[in-house]
Structure 1
């Protein structure tokens, strides 16, 4: 159950980070509300997950999911670079997340 909570926290973290682009420095009401609610939700779920999972593993997976999700959405939504080095780097982060999950003993 902790891994499902952590996965949910990671997804909400992606919403949080992408909403930063849309809220324009907290000057737009709805995107700003999405930013604040998703930040609180993501942190809360992370807090629940680390009650069971090791802190280092949970935090690395949470930040890794956020980084990969935002990088992919940056490519899709904002036409950011898709050069081979960037895609390789994203892939390596994914391997790191999977590796942490596979080595977890909880």
Structure 2
């Protein structure tokens, strides 16, 4: 796997992390079978993609990018889909997370 493909896999894993968190919310403590199965599928996919990216990328960088993008995406979609509070301060902190991810992308392999 090339470094570029590893980064694509890592960003896709972060996207599935967002899907996993949102489907967990919809599963409502595993009370809804369809959402529970979707959650487990997203979890399996994100672990697979994260594992593939780790063949090339340093684990510290990959973990920081995966959790950072996953957290940022979940906050934004949580606000859009569930009406969760999104203040200017929260947006500023999310922007810092994204800037950190961009910095790591150009610092590493």
TM-score range, shorter chain: over 0.9
For 1:77 and 1:57, locate their aligned partners in 2 and report how far apart those are by CA, in whole Å. 29
Alignment of structure 1 residues 74-85 onto 2, 5 Å:
74-85=78-89
Question: Once superposed, what is the RMSD of the aligned Cα atoms?
Answer: 0.8
Residue 75 of structure 1, CA deviation: 1.2
CA distance, structure 1, for counterparts of residue 103 and residue 22 of structure 2: 26
Which structure 2 segments of 5+ residues have no match? Answer: none
| Structure 1: 4+ residue segments shifted above 3 A | none
User: Which sits farther off after the overlay, 77-86 or 28-37?
Assistant: 77-86
Q: What is the distance in 1 between the residues matched to 2:56 and 2:74?
A: 26
- Partner of 2:30: helix, strand, or coil? coil
Q: Cα deviation per residue 1:41-77 (whole Å; 9 max; x = unaligned)?
A: 1011101100100000001000011100000001111
Indicate which of 28, 41, 57 corresponds to 1:37: 41
Distance 2:53 2:100 in 1: 19
What residue in structure 1 maps to residue 54 of structure 2? 50
User: How is 1:1-106 mapped onto 2 (pairs within 5 angstroms)?
Assistant: 1-104=5-108, 106=109
Q: CA deviation at 1:82?
A: 2.1
